[in-house]
Structure 1
Amino acid sequence: MYSTLLPVFTGVMDQGLVIDWTQMPTYNTIMAVAAGAGLLSLVLFARKLMAGAEVDFRGYSANFGVLGLILTITGAHMTLTWPFAAYFPFDNIIFGEPSLAFGVLLLAASFVLWRRAAVLEESADAARTVARTAEPLGVLIFGLGLALVGIAAAGVAFQLFVAPPEEPISGYFSQWPWVEITFMSGLFALVGLGALLFPFATRTFAVRSTPTKVQWVAGVSLALGGIAFLLFGALNFFTHIGLIVNTMG
């Protein structure tokens, strides 16, 4: 998840790449896991609502609240303090700002679901009620979709997301930089597509309705993106620890 510019900023010594980790606090590991869990949770929540299945609204509220808190705190810290500024400041934008926005949206969802749980449980069409509440956020979510597509384009144009050889597993592909560039840029684009379709997907969202093509594509995009972020973030708990061990000097 690091760029090809990393060696330029940190320098290479005889024993390989050496990084001063006191100058670069990093926590996009937990951010990726929380973002993936959040995307998957939203898709599963929407599926239950549309199917008319029994939904524990306070349970989902707690879930969104936990994930939203993680993403809001880490995203806000990265957005406001730029911990990567000494090496590759663009990663503060790539990881920090989308995490902050998604975290706040999840907190808002948590608050609404908690406050309106009783009403939603008695509603004849909780899916439509939730969709109406979410519709005003469609403009922001559409804008975030454009932003994610912009990040994907930047990844390709500026050759970002390439792990150094010292990073376990991911670093193996440093000799073929297009592999991780394509994977990460495609992942951001995939989630961006789901966000772009969100405002249109909510228009006909109702209980026991047949999913439209727009709703199906949006759901699949967000679900696949969520799975990828969750698994890749979990993998990075190993690869990032390995990178730290291999570059402490």
Structure 2
Amino acid sequence: MFVLTQDGLKINWVEMPTYNTIMSVAAGVGLLLVVALGRQLVDGREIAPEGWSMAFAVLGALLTATGLHMTLTWPLASGGFAFDNIIFGEPALAFGVLLLGSALVLWRRAPLFTTTADGAVDRRLELIRKLAAPISLFVFALGLCCFAIAAAGWAFTLFAAPPEEPISGQFADYPWIEATFISGLYVLVGIGAVLFPFALRNMRRPLLVVTGGAWTLAGLAFMLFGALNYFTHIGLIVHTQ
């Protein structure tokens, strides 16, 4: 929990563990890798499925473990930020499990993804359609959830950092700034997720470009923001412990 004292904000970090730093970095890199793999497959490039499988498995394990813990235990509730367990925990868990599933498919069906001989590219894309079609409905639903999270961020002015947090705390008097930034990232992820089933079905360049572009921007932002938070969150702990 946290209390306001004459010396400023004090937080009992033992009762409110926070690890959305690694979650943000892993989610951002995961989005970037999904786009990169999709681009290589659509362009007919040869890939090393085992390498992509390892990357997805590592990121998926991180997101699944942290997202599952946050979803089931609500560690941020004691500090008055119960909503953050839903906002960060559940999407991280969903994305982590999706990455683990992708890693398993890439590993088990590796030979079907490696060849780029004549006609093999079209067969590979058709295989991707068939494999990803069932789960694409869940991706679409997650996109709607991202829109809902973004709307909540704007409506209730969430995500604002306290003044004790370095850098981000400079905008504590303007909570709409960080609310707009984080909500905007969820909108980008949501756009890509909602378009994903349609882009997958038709493999049309405009839909693929919009989906990939949205996830690339969101991925870069989540990755860089998560890396920055390693400084800002450590500073917040130092200032409030």
User: Normalised by the size of structure 1, how large is the TM-score?
Assistant: 0.92
Q: Which amino acid aligns with 2:209?
A: W
Cα drift, residue 159 of structure 1: 1.0
The 5 Å alignment of 1:1-249 reads 10-86=2-78, 87-122=80-115, 124-125=120-121, 126-205=124-203, 211-248=204-241
CA–CA separation in structure 1 for the residues paired with 2:43 and 2:12: 52
> Structure 1 residue 14: deviation in Å?
1.0
Structure having greater relative contact order (Cα 8 Å, sep ≥ 6): 1
Percent identity at matched positions?
Answer: 56
**TM (normalized to structure 2)?**
0.95
Task: Tell me the residue number matched to 1:208.
Answer: none
**1 CA distance for matches of 2:151 and 2:92?**
18
For the residue of structure 2 that corresponds to 1:12, the secondary structure is strand
- Aligned-residue Cα RMSD (Å) equals 1.1
**For residues 114 and 33 of structure 2, what CA distance do their matches in structure 1 show?**
19
How far is 1:33 from its partner? 0.3
Q: CA deviation at 1:216?
A: 1.0
- Is the contact between residue 47 and residue 113 of structure 2 (CA under 8 Å) also seen in structure 1? no
Question: How many residues end up aligned between the 2 structures?
Answer: 235
Contact 1:135–1:199 (CA under 8 A) maintained in structure 2: yes
Give 4+ residue runs of structure 1 displaced > 4 Å after superposition: none
Structure 2: which 5+ residue stretches go unaligned?
A: none
Q: What one-letter code is carried by the residue in structure 1 that aligns with 2:131?
A: T
Partners of 1:121 and 1:64 in 2: CA distance: 17
